[in-house]
Structure 1
Amino acid sequence: MDIEIANALTTFTTRYCDAWHETQGTWPQSADLYGVPSPCIISSLDDRVLWQPKPFTAEENVNAVERAMDLVVQPAVHTFYTTQYAGDMTASVDGISLTLLQTWSEDDLQRVQENLIGHLVTQKRLKLSPTLFIATLDSELDVISVCNLSGEVIKETIGTRNREILAPSLADFLTRLEPLL
């Protein structure tokens, strides 16, 4: 596990949860995750769940992606998806609003890996260098990803060569995130 990434992610998550406590007086809430089992769930309300991050307890890697695509995934991506169970978190960096993706449960890790594989298959078919997404944007065509060759965090338009470097590393990117509720 990459300790620098794990620390940056848990520090951001703490700031995110603190912002919820300060502005809403509760733990983070999600309507999208209502009815989906997770160790993070504190309680369920009529149409949403309250959640708090929990330590990750499954195998700490995304090896299914490596096996399926016959490539070595950046260690930062392994750590990003296996540091904690948490709900997706909204944030901003450099004026860009995003939703930081997280692993909600052990079953969710399988879904995440299947989606990463699909993303990489598309890139391979289009002869694009491999990236692994970590966040979504309002535009369904744009995502925030980790370049699997350099480790840089980029904003990319799916299926194109349009890429903009946002940070030299995932740790740097996570450190610069600001919670956005």
Structure 2
Amino acid sequence: MTSTNKTLTQALLNFSSAYVELYKTKLGHLPTVEHDEQWLSCCEQGPHDVSHHYWQPALMESSTEGDELTFSNVESALKLELHPDIKTYFTTIFSSDINAVCAEGELSLLFAWNSEDFARLQENIIGHILMKQRLKQAETVFFAVTDEEDMIISVNNSSGEVWVEQVGCKPHKKLSDSLTDFIEQLTPKLL
């Protein structure tokens, strides 16, 4: 792991911890998620009520679910190397979406909930990159959705810069020089 990736890992851990602490401070408990027996995660921390469980982000490396979750199959399928920040971002924690606010507005950071969700995420990334290539646009990888329909936050695969883009269109507004810088400027937000 490069020093940049260690910094990104730490930024993700700090931000996800701040999100959990916000819940504990404001609501007196961990975040909750609708429980689904067919969609279990190591993030779940036990029942909140009949249909919801408490949850918190879980380190992938300390989870048996996180064994060998990589992007080598995606890179092989696309004949393309993904930016290291993209790989670090999606292989640091299992988590439900985490809501946040930045200078541009509200967004939800996307993560894999479990290993099956990681596989689905990989398929979506392949589809997104193939669409970008078909449109002859620079490859990007989405990692967040905004409160505006069809607007996503993505990482430029070549530069690592963070951009806003409308699905199917070229990125139109640069938000940060790096994913680490972007994560560090976010404020966690309750639902």
Normalising by structure 1, we get a TM-score of: 0.94
Query: 2:163, 2:171 within 8 Å by CA — same for their partners in 1?
Result: no
Q: Show structure 1 runs of 5+ residues with no match.
A: none
Aligned residue in 2 for 1:29: 32
Aligned residue in 1 for 2:155: 146
SS at match of 1:38: coil
Aligned residue in 1 for 2:16: 13
Query: 1:60, 1:79 within 8 Å by CA — same for their partners in 2?
Result: no
Give the aligned residue type for 1:5: L
Q: CA RMSD in A?
A: 1.4
**1:38 equivalent in alignment to 2:47:** no
Give the aligned residue type for 1:54: A
> 2:170 & 2:104 partners in 1: Cα distance?
22
Residue identity (%): 34
> 2:127 & 2:177 partners in 1: Cα distance?
25
Query: 1:77, 1:132 within 8 Å by CA — same for their partners in 2?
Result: yes
Count of residues in correspondence between the two structures = 180
Aligned residue in 2 for 1:169: 178
> 2:158 & 2:77 partners in 1: Cα distance?
18
SS at match of 2:155: strand
Normalising by structure 2, we get a TM-score of: 0.89
Mapping 1:13-92, distance limit 5 Å:
13-31=16-34, 34-35=36-37, 36-44=39-47, 45-56=49-60, 57-92=66-101
Query: 1:156, 1:163 within 8 Å by CA — same for their partners in 2?
Result: yes
> 1:125 & 1:148 partners in 2: Cα distance?
16
| Deviant stretches of 4+, over 6 Å | none
> 1:95 & 1:47 partners in 2: Cα distance?
34
Could you say if the C-alpha distance between residues 34 and 163 of structure 1 is closer, same or farther in structure 2, counting changes exceeding 3 Å? farther
Give the aligned residue type for 1:101: L
